[in-house]
Amino acid sequence: MKSSPKDENKSSIMQISLSNGQILRLAQVKEGDTVYYVPEESLFVKKIPRKRDVAFYNPKQSFNRDVSVCAIEVFLEKYHQTPHVTRACEPLCATGIRGIRYLLETRLQEVTMTDLNPVAIKIATFNLSYLETTLTNLKKKVILQRAEASRTLLTNAINFQRFCITDIDPFGSPSPFLYPAILATEPKGLIAVTATDTAPLTGVYPHALFKKYLASMIGRVTFYNELALRRVITYAMRIGFLLGIAMVPVLSFAIDHYFRVFFIKSFKKNVEDLVSDIGFLLHCKQCLYTEIWKKFESPPAAQLQCSYCNASLLMLGPLYLGSIQNRDFINETIRIAEERTLTQKERVLKYLHLLKQETTLNLPWYYDLHHLASYLQTSAPSTVTILTELEQQGYTAIRTHCSPTAIKTNAPIKVLHSIVLRGKALENNA
């Protein structure tokens, strides 16, 4: 690795030579409090970066990294109590910006980072050398290797070198890495998981959904983002159940083109609590009537017919229907986010507040107002109008972070229908 003397702007552009003789231009970016060099071309790609890119860096994912920095700081400050050195593992690290941000922006003491792509490791190595010029001993806190992710995790698990934080941030589905990630994380540790395969998860490809998440092959429904998020959570929980471990979600969100969940690996006794929250949703795709079915027998045929519009109900699940946020954890994450330099601070805080509000009504689905308006052959009223009217009628009604045109409410569907039908009149009277 070497920087070229021909750099036109030494501080913002660097060049490294790759093993095939190719020169790779690196551009300086600042994320949070961390200055880092990433492939220059990744800053100009308009669409989502692809697997065949020279090494993966997605500027838009700074939101994910910002939230993760805050969540990890909360975990280390408030939840993690072992006396030994705090170690995290990012086994799919790409350029390494995530793991290095955790090290530089939280109280984490050591990070292990691996990637299969040799160019990614070369870029991370370049950054470590660059950062060490101002941060002494940084290299001693980073274990960086070209290695396969599951192998990294399993080797550490077998050698009783388990991590207090494991972050699985792959291309597409995290499924292949969950079992080794759970094994490689110490009890009460934090496991963060990203899933970017939105098409299978939201039911666009039901066969892929079954293959990757063992979920029933059911196509898209209107609350697809929440359903997909819960599919990721349910799958991770089921892998935990096989090992007698409870994967308790403390912070979960669907945003842009991905899903992100932070789990705390918990004691066996929590397994039964989670299992008791596994069930099904009986859902009408037309009028959006939805109910929870938690019994261990199939519903009678009559119950699989919508009592409002007579359409057949879909049976979605098995699905984790319990809480996917921990209010205290979110409050603390908000506190840290307010204090920190973050790349997407305003957006991070906006979403964290939406997630906090969602803890006031644990409803594992939401109602899309545009769909309801079209079903009822009316024009869609504003979300605010509907929320206000529901509250005036004594119901709980909140927004969902999953969609700006959807709401959650404990009002019966008939009440919601009648308010949507009167929506424009309510707006005119306001």
Ligand X SMILES: C[S@@+](CC[C@H](N)C(=O)[O-])C[C@H]1O[C@@H](n2cnc3c(N)ncnc32)[C@H](O)[C@@H]1O
In the complex, which residues of this chain contact Zn ion (CB under 5 A)?
Answer: 284, 286-287, 289, 306, 308-309, 311
Interacting span for ligand X (CB under 6 A) from 74-82, 92-100, 155-163, 209-217: 92-100
Of Zn ion, ligand X, none, which one sits near residue 260, judging by CB under 5 to 8 A according to partner kind?
A: none
Binding of residue 66 to ligand X (CB under 6 A): no
For the beta carbon of residue 148, count every other beta carbon within 10 angstroms.
Answer: 14
Of ligand X, Zn ion, none, which one sits near residue 289, judging by CB under 5 to 8 A according to partner kind?
A: Zn ion
Element housing 102 (H / E): helix 97-105
Q: Which of 16, 24, 70, 97 binds ligand X (CB under 6 A)?
A: 97
Helix H segments across 307-412? 327-339, 345-358, 369-375, 383-392
- Report the site for ligand X in 136-155 (rule: CB under 6 A): 148-149
Phi and psi (nearest 5°) for 135? Answer: -115, 100
Specify the residue for token string 């990757």. Answer: 212
Q: Which of 115, 186, 226, 358 binds ligand X (CB under 6 A)?
A: 115
Distance of closest approach, residue 270 Cβ to ligand X, in angstroms? 28
Of Zn ion, ligand X, none, which one sits near residue 149, judging by CB under 5 to 8 A according to partner kind?
A: ligand X
Binding of residue 105 to ligand X (CB under 6 A): no
Sign of CA dihedral 139, 143, 144, 145: positive
Q: Are 198 and 257 in contact (CB under 8 A)?
A: yes
User: How many residues line the site for ligand X (CB under 6 A)?
Assistant: 20
Torsion (CA) 102, 104, 105, 106 in degrees, nearest 10 = 60
Pick between residue 309 and residue 349 the one whose CB is nearest to Zn ion.
309
Binding of residue 93 to ligand X (CB under 6 A): yes
Q: Which of 69, 94, 246, 397 binds ligand X (CB under 6 A)?
A: 94
For the beta carbon of residue 58, count every other beta carbon within 10 angstroms.
Answer: 21
Distance of closest approach, residue 88 Cβ to ligand X, in angstroms? 12
Binding of residue 100 to ligand X (CB under 6 A): no
Pick between residue 120 and residue 254 the one whose CB is nearest to ligand X.
120
Binding of residue 43 to ligand X (CB under 6 A): no
Quick one: which of 64, 110, 59 has its CA closest to 84? Answer: 110
Q: Give every CB contact of residue 29 below 8 A, 6+ residues apart in sequence.
A: 35, 36, 37, 38, 43, 59
Q: Report how far apart, in Å, the C-alpha atoms of 119 and of each of 16, 94, 187, 344 are.
A: 10, 9, 34, 28
Binding of residue 178 to ligand X (CB under 6 A): no
Binding of residue 123 to ligand X (CB under 6 A): no
Distance of closest approach, residue 334 Cβ to ligand X, in angstroms? 22
Sign of CA dihedral 309, 371, 407, 263: positive
Give the interface with ligand X as residue ranges (CB under 6 A).
Answer: 56-57, 61, 65, 92-95, 97-98, 114-117, 120, 148-149, 169-171
